[in-house]
């Protein structure tokens, strides 16, 4: 099993929560304070601050300035998606499943917000393809992800649409290897 640094484990744990995934999405195109995050996501200020502290400690959000507000100082945060450290593979099956469960829960919430009568794409596949086809797919998915992250705007910016892009693209082991890894307690 691959050993991970405390920082990698901290980042993985920070990512394994649907609210923190919402915050990262929000801070991809905006520089917001804890109060603004709280208002946007319907959280208490204390809850938003708590999640932002965890994300900042995990280096998934960074300070993007400070401003004076009613006699105090408010930090603004942003998610540096293009410089965020790679969380790498999860060290245990349980940690991996917590992260995937957080993504799945967030996807269900987002799907409830799908605008009726608009085009969308839902695809699911477990199949076998040539390695060069898989490399091409990964390149296209990466390109799409970078495009939406690079072009993200603050919420409700005129001329924008509220959209979701969730991907989980990965190579799989054979069912036999998965059963063997489960029997020995190793992550796949």
With respect to residue 1, please indicate whether it lies within any of the assigned structural domains: no
Mean pLDDT over 149-175 rounds to 93
| Sheet of 62-69, strands arranged across | 32-33, 72-78, 62-69
pLDDT, tens digit, 9 for 90 and up, residues 82-121: 875 554 555 577 877 888 999 999 999 999 999 999 999 9
φ, ψ of residue 5 to 5 degrees: the values are: -75, 160
Q: How far apart are CA 34 and CA 47, in angstroms?
A: 9
pLDDT digits (tens, 9 = 90+) for 27-59: 999 999 999 999 999 999 999 999 999 999 999
pLDDT value for 86: 53
Is 43 among the domain residues?
yes
With residue 80 as reference, give the H or E element that holds it: none
Domain count, the chain: 1
Q: Is 125 within the bounds of a domain? A: yes
Q: What whole-number distance in Å separates Cα of residue 5 and Cα of residue 14?
A: 14
Share of the chain above pLDDT 70, in %: 89
Examine residue 120 and state whether it is found in any structural domain, yes or no: yes
CATH number, domain of 153, equals 1.10.10.10
Q: How high is the pLDDT of residue 87?
A: 47
Residue 32 within any structural domain of the chain: yes
- Its pTM stands at 0.78
Has residue 179 been placed in a domain?
A: yes
Classify residue 170 as exposed, middle or buried by CB count within 10 Å of its CB (0-12, 13-18, 19+): exposed
Query: Residue 134 — pLDDT band, cuts 50, 70, 90?
Result: very high
| Interval 18-28: pLDDT, tens | 999 999 999 99
28 within domain boundaries: yes
Look up the domain containing 87 and give its range: 6-184
Mean pLDDT of the chain: 88
Residue 25 CB burial class (10 angstroms; 0-12, 13-18, ≥19): buried
Residues 6+ positions from 186 with CB-CB distance below 8 Å: 1, 93
Beta bridge mates, 68: 73
């Amino acid at each position: 099993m691959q050993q991970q640094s405390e920082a990698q484990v901290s980042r993985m744990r920070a990512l394994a929560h649907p609210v923190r995934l919402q915050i990262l999405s929000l801070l991809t195109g905006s520089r917001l304070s804890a109060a603004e995050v709280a208002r946007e996501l319907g959280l208490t200020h204390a809850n938003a601050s708590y999640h932002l502290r965890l994300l900042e400690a995990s280096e998934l959000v960074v300070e993007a300035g400070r401003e004076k507000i009613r006699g105090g100082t408010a930090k603004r945060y942003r998610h540096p998606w293009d410089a965020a450290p790679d969380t790498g593979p999860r060290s245990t099956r349980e940690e991996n499943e917590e992260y995937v469960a957080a993504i799945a829960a967030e996807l269900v919430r987002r799907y409830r917000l799908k605008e009726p009568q608009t085009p969308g794409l839902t695809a699911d596949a477990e199949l076998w393809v040539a390695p060069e086809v898989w490399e091409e797919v990964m390149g296209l998915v990466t390109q799409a992800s970078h495009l939406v992250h690079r072009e993200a705007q603050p919420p409700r910016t005129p001329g924008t649409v509220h959209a979701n892009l969730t991907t989980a693209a990965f190579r799989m082991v054979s069912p036999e290897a998965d059963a063997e890894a489960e029997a020995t307690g190793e992550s796949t």
